[in-house]
Structure 1
Amino acid sequence: MLAYMYGILTNRLSLWALLIVNALGTIYGFIWYGDQLQQTPWQFVIFVPDSPTASLFFVFVLVGFLTRKQFGLIEALAAVTLIKYGVWAVVMNTFQVFEGAPMHWTIWMLNLSHAGMAIQAVLFAPFYKIKRWHLGVALIWTVHNDVIDYFFDMHPWLSQRIMPYIDQIGWFTFFLGLISVALVYMLNVRNKAPRLNLPS
C-alpha cells in the first residue's frame, strides 16, 4: 500500500502537477506580501515572505526531482520551512478566529494551502538526500529568520486581534522551527536505510 502511494506521488505527472501548483502558489504568495515588502527596508526583504520562500525552495526540489538532480541543502531548507510555516500559518489563522475574527473564505483557503505545504514536505521525506550539515544550515537559517522577524519587527503582518500576543507568537515560532528541524532529522537524516529512488 505504501509503495503504491509513493508510486503515485513520484509519478512524473504528479510531480509536474505539484510543480505547477507550488509555482503558482509561490507567485501568489509574493504578491500577497507586496504591500509589506514595499515598506520593508531592503536588507530585510528576503526574510519577510516566509511561506512563499518556503514553497520556492520546494519548487527547486521538484525541478530537481524531474531532472533527477538532487540538492540536499535546498531539500533541507524546503523541508524545514514548509513544515514550520505551513503549521505556523494554520495556527495563526485559527488563533485570530478564536480571538473573534470572522471565518472568511480566505482563512479556509490559507489554512488548506498551508497545511498542504507541511504535508507535502513530510510525504517526500524518504526521497531527500539531506546530510547533517545541510540540516545545520537550515537550523541557522530558521533561527536567524526568527531574530529578524521578532527582534527587528519584520514578521509577517498579523491581525490586530492577536498582536497583543506577539511575544508569545515569537517564542512559538522559534520553538516550532526547532521542532521542524528535529522532525526532518527523525524522518530523513537519522534514517540510515537507503533513500527511496525517484522513477526515471
Structure 2
Amino acid sequence: MSYIHIILRHRLFLTALFFINLIGTIYGYIWYGNQLANTPAIFLIFVPDSPTASLFFTIFLGFYIFGKHVPYIEALAIVTLFKYGIWAVVMNILTYFTDGSLAPEAYMLIISHGAMAIQGLLYASHYKIKLKHLVVAGLWTIHNDFIDYIFGMMPRYRSLDIYMNEIGYFTFWLSIASIGLTYYLTIRKKSKSDTKFKELA
C-alpha cells in the first residue's frame, strides 16, 4: 500500500478532513443565503450545488472513519464534487476575463473548489460504488441541470448572465464527463483489477 493511501485512511487525517468539509459545507449554505431566500420551496434542495456536494462527501467521511460504506452517498459525492468543483473554477476564471478582475473571495473559491474536485477523486479506490449507485447519482446530477437551466435556479455570476445558454450547455457536458470519470475510476477500473486478480489466482 502506498504512502498516499495510508494517509488517506489515517483516522486523524480523516477526522481533520471531515471537519474541514463540514465547516466548508456550512459556509457554503450561508453563502447561498440570499438566493435561497428568493427560491421557491420546491427548488430549495437543488440550489446550493457546491455545499450539497461537500455535504455528501462529509457524510461519506463520517461513515468511513468508522469503517462503514454508503455507496449511494459515495457516488453522489464523487460525481458532484468533481462537477461543481470544476464548474466553479471555470466560472470564476470566466468572470476574470469578463470583468478584468476578481474579488479576493473569488480566488478563495477557485482554490477551495479546485480542492473539492481533487479530494473526491483521491478516494476513488476507497468507494464501494456499483452501477446502480452511479445511475442514481447520474440521474440526480442531470436532473439538477434541468432545474438550474430550465427553471433558472443556477448559481449567480451576474457578469456571466448573458452567456447562460452556453454555460448551461457546458454544464450538461461537464455532468456527463463527471459521470463517465466516476464510472472509469470506481467501476471499470475495479472490474479490470478483479479480473486480473482472478487470472493470477
TM-score bucket (shorter structure): over 0.9
1:179 aligns with 2:158: no
Amino acid at match of 2:139: I
Specify the alignment match of 1:95 in structure 2.
94
Corresponding letter in the other structure for 1:130: I
Instruction: Verify the 8 A CA contact 2:95 2:102 in the aligned structure 1.
Output: no
Deviation for aligned residue 1:162: 1.2
Q: Taking CA–CA contacts closer than 8 Å with sequence separation of 6 or more, which of the two structures ends up with the larger relative contact order?
A: 1
C-alpha separation in 1, matches of 2:37 and 2:49: 15
Q: 1:121: Cα distance to partner?
A: 0.6
Which residue in 1 is equivalent to 2:107?
108
- In the alignment, is the contact (CA less than 8 A) between 2:50 and 2:81 conserved in 1? yes
The counterpart of 1:165, out of the listed 144, 163, 182, is 163
Give me the whole-angstrom Cα distance separating, in 2, the residues matched to 1:121 and 1:155: 22
Q: Does 1:41 align with 2:40?
A: yes
Unaligned runs of 5+ in 2: 195-201
Q: CA deviation at 1:165?
A: 0.5
Q: What letter is aligned with 1:67?
A: F
Task: Write the distance in 2 (CA, Å) between the matches of 1:155 and 1:68.
Answer: 36
User: Where do residues 118-129 of structure 1 align in structure 2 (5 Å cutoff)?
Assistant: 118-129=117-128
- How far residue 103 of structure 1 moved from its aligned partner, in angstroms, is 2.4
Unaligned runs of 5+ in 1: 195-200
SS at match of 2:99: coil
Q: Deviations over 1:37-94 (max 9, x none)?
A: 0000000000000000000000100001111110110000000000000000000001
Over aligned residue pairs, what C-alpha RMSD do you find? 1.0
Q: Does 1:140 align with 2:139?
A: yes
2:33 is the counterpart of 1:26? no
Larger helix proportion, structure 1 or 2? Answer: 2
Match of 2:83? Answer: 84
Residue type at the aligned position of 1:181? I
Give me the whole-angstrom Cα distance separating, in 1, the residues matched to 2:7 and 2:68.
Answer: 20
When normalised by structure 1's length, the TM-score is 0.94
* Mapped partners of 1:173, 1:32: distance in 2: 21
Deviation at 1:10, TM superposition (A): 1.5
Residue in 2 aligned with 1:54?
A: 53
Q: Deviations over 1:7-54 (max 9, x none)?
A: 112111100010010000000000000010000000000000000000
Give the Cα–Cα distance (whole angstroms) in 2 for the partners of residues 24 and 70 of structure 1.
Answer: 22
1:6 Cα deviation (Å)? 1.1
Q: In structure 2, how many angstroms separate the alpha carbons of the residues matched to 1:102 and 1:10?
A: 40
Q: Aligned residue for 1:189? A: 187
Identical amino acids, percent of aligned pairs:
51
CA distance in 1, matches of 2:100, 2:141: 29
How far, CA to CA, are the matches of 2:9 and 2:154 in structure 1? 34
Give the residue type in structure 1 aligned to 2:30. I
Kindly report structure 1 stretches of 4+ aligned residues shifted beyond 3 Å. none
Q: Which amino acid aligns with 2:182?
A: V
